[in-house]
Structure 1
């Protein structure tokens, strides 16, 4: 049995660091796109437009009932047949955003529907524009209520970035596979990568908790 040798990790640490930063970038970009899709999807569903609502429902069902790997393969390998070619990084961001957005739609919708209709009616009675009522009276309290669920979904999205190595997107898992292939020190490499993913999840949770405490804090006076 070969003795453990973590010297390879020290030698290739710059590569692991770049892979970690790339993973973080993919995750944050995917989260931002997912939030845009989530809010837009809920807005369309509440607009009363039957066609738009049907499209959103179909999108949610399609994404939630198919594997992420199939989704990213479709974007990367199938869309070029229709003339749409995206590089691996852009493909990863789009796939993560679409996947996270489908779940965000349902999470946000649940939060919005938990807001009593009386609050909306009161805002309209005060002469507020429907868009302003939705943004200030409905959406913000709903996001405050569902923020922990969104955070959990975004942590899952961060870990899902590892699948993006299947299309050669540059991220932490791809770097790990490359180092493992060069050194054959599988235990050392994947032990370290596991620790990095764990640390990355903690950092993102702390960051999201800080943002939540600032964005959704109740007025003190």
Structure 2
């Protein structure tokens, strides 16, 4: 049984796909930044000697990591409306994505912090560094550098997960594909185009995060330069 591909009608809706891609980026970028900051603070809280704070952060992480993102999106969207806070679907989606990625970032960063050898902390204290300086120079930055590949993968997964927000009528790429296929009756072509768009966004995001890593982590940049020189 043959199938005649017809991308002409689908490609004719390229302005809509472009708007959907832009909305996907608008969801992904702030959710990545805010979620990472929240996750890092949560990781610090999980390692805290204050028992209630550590337990509260641990409970938050376990709840988020063991429930589907779609359910979390629904809980935020309908929960806020039930409480009388009528927020746009975009805002509810962004809040849900931040809550989700923060929990995963917390565990990734906590693993990085736990990998820092105690001898390094003792050496920093002997040098007279303040607690804030120790956390920034000896714990946070080295920890982030160690787990940066895992963070990069998690942030790309977050961008792909924005497709779930189409369930609350957020007009991102997947929602646009659903609309276009209902108008053109070419679902296969529409979703092939969206798959290619997501692939392109993923590659661009990985490239951007790689360049950011080279700019922030000077040791990584020196190693990359040394590897290029040997080649």
Query: Is the Cα contact below 8 Å between 2:121 and 2:134 reproduced in 1?
Result: yes
Cα distance, 1:44 vs structure 2: 1.6
| RMSD over equivalenced CA pairs, Å | 1.4
- The number of residue pairs the alignment matches comes to 220
- Counterpart contact for 1:33–1:98, Cα < 8 Å: no
TM-superposed CA distance for 1:3, in Å, is 2.6
CA distance, structure 2, for counterparts of residue 166 and residue 155 of structure 1: 20
Deviation at 1:187, TM superposition (A): 1.2
- What is the rounded CA distance, in whole Å, between the counterparts of 2:104 and 2:11 in structure 1? 39
Alignment partner of 1:91 is 2:92: yes
The 5-angstrom pairing of residues 6-155 of structure 1 reads: 6-155=7-156
How much does 1:2 deviate? 6.0
2:213 is matched with 212
Query: How far did residue 212 of structure 1 move?
Result: 0.7
C-alpha separation in 2, matches of 1:31 and 1:85: 24
Determine the C-alpha separation between the residues in 1 that align with 2:171 and 2:119: 49
| Cα distance between partner residues in 2 of 1:7 and 1:55 | 54
Deviates more, 1:122-131 or 1:147-156: 122-131
State the SS of the aligned residue for 2:116. coil
Q: Contact 1:112/1:142 (CA < 8 Å) preserved in 2?
A: yes
Which of 8-17 and 162-171 deviates more? 8-17
TM-score by length of structure 1 reads 0.95
Structure 1: where are the runs of 5+ without partners? none
Give 5+ residue unaligned stretches, structure 2.
223-231
Q: Could you tell me how far apart the structure 1 residues matched to 2:31 and 2:185 are?
A: 32
> How far off is 1:194 after superposition?
0.6
